[in-house]
Structure 1
């Protein structure tokens, strides 16, 4: 079933459950935020990608206005609710300054694979240790989902957007594991290279080989 949403295209990917802080400064989006608050309505953030508004995005709920400025700008707190597909995009909603569009909800299937999840956890811990980010490793929840870790994997915008479109958790897990298995050897080798560079010029205590 489709519905009409105010739309705020941005060159980011927002996932369901994600907290998002935004500074609102353009007149059209100041109007959007005020309309949403007045009418108790959510808005959508379709991903702006490859010089255009993408078909997929996330419905966002405004949690509150953190700060208002004299010029009308504001800082808002928001949260991703659910993913949608844009059926019809309008550059300006009827009678408004901001964009709008007809959207339909994307239904996801939670069919996670525990073995793949265990492999992902191990790879992430290796990655964080190599990068000196052990605090991130410690903060990793036992019951994490693909969307909860997606921004912590070094994915580019296109890869994050591809994850958003995958309707099965198992498919997202496979994509994440493949990405980690691809980048982990590169990161580990880069860290080893940094150590070798640091040692260059230092006095070395080496054991000669036996002949």
Structure 2
């Protein structure tokens, strides 16, 4: 299926099911959001990487206007719906300040994948957070989490998050996260080890001599 959607390109990746808060200040996007609210329409957020708009993005809907300012700016809450692929960008639309795109929606398997694998991914992310001394609340029981719920918490770059957006099977996404964590965790652990060594530098050390036959 293909259709036309208004687009709001941003330098972020939005995943289906994600709750995203936005501050809307540009006139073109204030117009876009107002129309989406009045007409109960969705809009697309394609990802910008290195000043270029990618062909993938996520359709989102406005769930709430949190605040409206005197100058017309808005704080809104949105929710990611489904991944789209841009077929053609429409830069100029009659009587509109914003741009749009003709998109298609690739089939996306959003099942639970492998629960044992997902639990390993969640455990890896919790270990990452422990090493980094950060706290995150996934707002779901562990056995209800999927790859989209935890992807932003896995320490990936924007490019890596975008690669994951292009994977259309839950098991693929879980495997991607597992490989990423297997690569990142040893590096972070070694950094923590080095940090502890640096802290000890300059302090008196209680070291036992080695029993060497000299």
TM-score, length-normalised on structure 1?
Answer: 0.93
Q: In the alignment, what sits opposite 2:196?
A: 195
CA–CA separation in structure 2 for the residues paired with 1:5 and 1:63: 18
Displacement of 1:134: 5.2
State whether structure 2 residue 207 is matched by structure 1 residue 206.
yes
CA–CA separation in structure 1 for the residues paired with 2:56 and 2:86: 6
Contact 2:62 2:76 in 1 (8 A): yes
Q: SS of the residue aligned with 1:84?
A: strand
Q: Can you give the 5+ residue segments of structure 1 that lack an aligned partner in the other structure?
A: none
Q: In the alignment, what sits opposite 1:126?
A: 127
CA–CA separation in structure 1 for the residues paired with 2:140 and 2:113: 20
Displacement of 1:4: 1.2
What whole-Å deviation, never above 9, does each CA across 1:27-46 have from its counterpart, x for those lacking one?
10010011111111111101
Displacement of 1:57: 0.6
State whether structure 2 residue 185 is matched by structure 1 residue 184.
yes
Contact 2:93 2:100 in 1 (8 A): yes
Q: Relative to structure 2, which stretch is displaced further, 119-128 or 199-208?
A: 119-128
CA–CA separation in structure 2 for the residues paired with 1:87 and 1:63: 27
Contact 1:111 1:168 in 2 (8 A): no
Q: SS of the residue aligned with 1:142?
A: helix
CA–CA separation in structure 2 for the residues paired with 1:135 and 1:149: 10
Contact 1:119 1:177 in 2 (8 A): yes
CA–CA separation in structure 1 for the residues paired with 2:199 and 2:141: 31
Q: Classify 1:118/1:5 alpha carbon distance in 2 versus 1 (closer, same or farther; 3 Å).
A: same
Q: Classify 1:121/1:105 alpha carbon distance in 2 versus 1 (closer, same or farther; 3 Å).
A: same
Q: In the alignment, what sits opposite 1:148?
A: 149
Q: Can you give the 5+ residue segments of structure 2 that lack an aligned partner in the other structure?
A: none
Displacement of 1:165: 0.7
Q: SS of the residue aligned with 1:71?
A: coil
CA–CA separation in structure 2 for the residues paired with 1:72 and 1:55: 30
Q: In the alignment, what sits opposite 2:25?
A: 25
